[in-house]
Chain A
Amino acid sequence: MSIEKNKKLNIKNFLTGMKKEIKKTCDNDVEGWIYSLEVKEHFFFPKNILFDDYSYKADGVGIVGSPECGDVMKVWIKVDKKNYRIKECKWRTFGCASAIASASMMSVMATENGGMDLEEAQTLKPQQIVERLGGLPDRKFHCSVLGHEALREAVLDYFKHAKQ
């Protein structure tokens, strides 16, 4: 009899646990987002957007992607001529949520800690951006590739003009 009682109690405990679990998952379902919090932050509050692109004087400009492919990114940089570091990194993009988030994160990485040096900026890898964003789903990974490519184009553009 006591075994029976125990069993019942166990089942009851199990069910209460289940209910809690289910409630938790459902709550997650409501609030959940396919992206990380960091991606969400950079998507809803992007940093370093260039609003006044008509009057902005950049040292280098890079553009990659095409509107037919659904993703274009344009990056403007200003370079500190004393130490060849990136002083300002601004962008505009036509793209999906992860493209916006990775552009924003890229611009933060390029300008933090006194600015990225140009060599480093040219070899920035998409994995570095994605890592800082707390990861992206594999199928969304290609969107982040535009960020570092546009930056590299901007650096190359800077060198081209600096030579002349």
Chain B
Amino acid sequence: MKTSRIYLDNASTTPIDPKVLDVMFPYLKEKYGNPSSLHLEGRTAENAIEKSREKVSSVIGCRKEEIIFTSGGTESDNLAILGIARANKNKGKHIITSCIEHKAVLDSCKKLEKEGFDITYLDVDSKGKISLVQLEKSIRPDTIMVSIMYANNEIGTIQPISKISKIIKENKVSKPIFHSDACQAVGSLSIDIKKIGVDVLTISSSKIYGPKGVGCLYLNKNIKIEPIIFGGGQERGLRSGTENVASIVGFAEALMISENIKKTENERLIKLRDYFFKEIKNNIKDVSINGDIKDRLPNNINVSIKGVEGETLVLILDDKGVSCSTGSACSSIDLNPSHVLVGIGIPLELAHCSVRFTLGRYTQKKDIDYTVKVLYESVKKIREMSVRVPLEVSYK
């Protein structure tokens, strides 16, 4: 095994920033109080949480009390979808989402279908974008919520969020609440809610060099919602359970850092990514890009390499010290590749050949050069043992 690894799976999670770790440490050691307690230790912890809330709200451009800390993206999505739908069902039981959302949104919607809600899953085009016309047509008098992700985790496609918001706000049929999952977008796109026009926003810490297991939900103060976790009434009764103080402090710090360096990081990553993609195309035959080329997260490359099965490639690259991921990992129950790749309609045989590289704050040009070199070797090795397509016969 190579001693220094090249980590190109930053969309799964990011390493923690040492500066973030520094601010967290005191709250794991001497500042251990429970924020609900009246004594000094408790007040210290509560103070830290409120300071963090202030930081987060200043980045998002909202009021302090509109931030609810949660255990991360999945919980925020669950709370937004289930909590808002259940609290507003007297107004209607129709929700609009897209077919390429994160499972945290899709599975919450599936749960709501069982509770009698009607869900419209918008199609996406071959680049992964929803159709604004289809969105507008789908809004009904009983539509209470629209949930569309800001940027996709697999293919990196960015949705026209302000335009979506405009359609939702200006339609004459009903007044649905607009929720967006911004877990992937937060590190590189604007999350100023006045600009993007969302009512509810999911943010996770683990993709912005913060600790795992923490995130938040921005929730416009006028929105009716009910909790999905019950107990001590923390976070205005919307998220009971003793707060994860150190992680909340770390999350807020990580968000501040990420905001401060966003512009320069974006420029650097776009250059590096475009170089990477150009090198892949120059060195490897029969490669196609999945997703949109223009409206794409600065760190995302998702390609299909013909004849090279995704999981095999990931494991061989892993052996050579490069970490990346695939949308084709197969399991016996469901042999289909990822719902996102199926959703953008790429041929199945190419969906099985998908591989995703997501660059990060610590990725350098020399890492890309090494990756291209081992990618070339690995692809060559796999193609040498791969069955040639098109096949003469297809069976089963």
Contacts and interface: CB of A to CB of B under 8 A. Distances in A.
Q: Check A-B contact in the complex, CB < 8 A.
A: yes
B388 interface: yes
Given A44-B319, A94-B307, A67 B331 contact: no
A70 B312 contact: no
A66 B384 contact: no
Chain B residues touching A, range: 20 to 34
Nearest to B393: A63
B332 A93 contact: no
The residue in A67, A92, A142 that gathers the most chain B C-beta atoms within 10 A of its C-beta is A67
Given A92-B385, A96-B309, A100-B385, A143 B393 contact: no
B332 A97 contact: no
A94 B389 contact: yes
Nearest to B329: A96
A70 B396 contact: no
A72 B311 CA distance: 14
Interface in B373-396: 384-389, 391-396
B311 A64 contact: no
A65 interface: yes
Contacts of A31: 1
A61 B242 CA distance: 64
Interface stretch (A18-26, A79-87, A120-128, A133-141): A133-141
A70 B391 contact: no
A93 B352 CA distance: 13
Given A64-B396, A65-B396, A70-B335, A97 B312 contact: yes
Contacts of B369: none
B387 A43 contact: no
B315 interface: yes
Contact of B387 (A69, A93, A96, A140): A93
A95 interface: yes
B210 interface: no
B348 A74 contact: no
A141 B332 contact: yes
Contacts of A51: 384
A68 interface: yes
Given A63-B395, A93-B387, A70 B337 contact: yes
Interface string B311-348: 11001100100000000111111010100000000011
Contacts of B136: none
Given A49-B384, A51-B384, A66 B391 contact: yes
B192 interface: no
A67 B349 contact: yes
Contacts of A43: 315
Nearest to A31: B1
Contacts of B389: 67, 72, 94
Given A97-B311, A100-B312, A142-B332, A63 B396 contact: no
A84 B56 CA distance: 75
B317 to A, nearest CB: 12
Contacts of A72: 387, 389, 391
A139 B349 contact: no
A73 B391 CA distance: 11
A93 B330 contact: no
A90 to B, nearest CB: 10
Contacts of A44: 316, 319
Interface in B16-41: none
Contacts of A73: 387
A53 B385 CA distance: 10
Given A68-B348, A96-B312, 16 more contacts: A44-B319, A63-B387, A63-B393, A63-B395, A66-B391, A66-B396, A70-B348, A72-B387, A72-B389, A74-B387, A92-B385, A94-B307, A96-B311, A96-B330, A142-B332, A142-B335
25 contacts: A30-B1, A46-B385, A49-B384, A65-B395, A68-B348, A69-B335, A69-B396, A70-B328, A70-B330, A70-B335, A70-B348, A72-B387, A72-B389, A72-B391, A94-B307, A95-B309, A96-B329, A96-B330, A97-B315, A99-B309, A100-B385, A139-B331, A139-B332, A142-B332, A143-B330
- Ordered nearest first, which 6 A-B pairs have the shortest CB separation? A67-B349, A70-B352, A68-B348, A96-B311, A139-B331, A72-B387
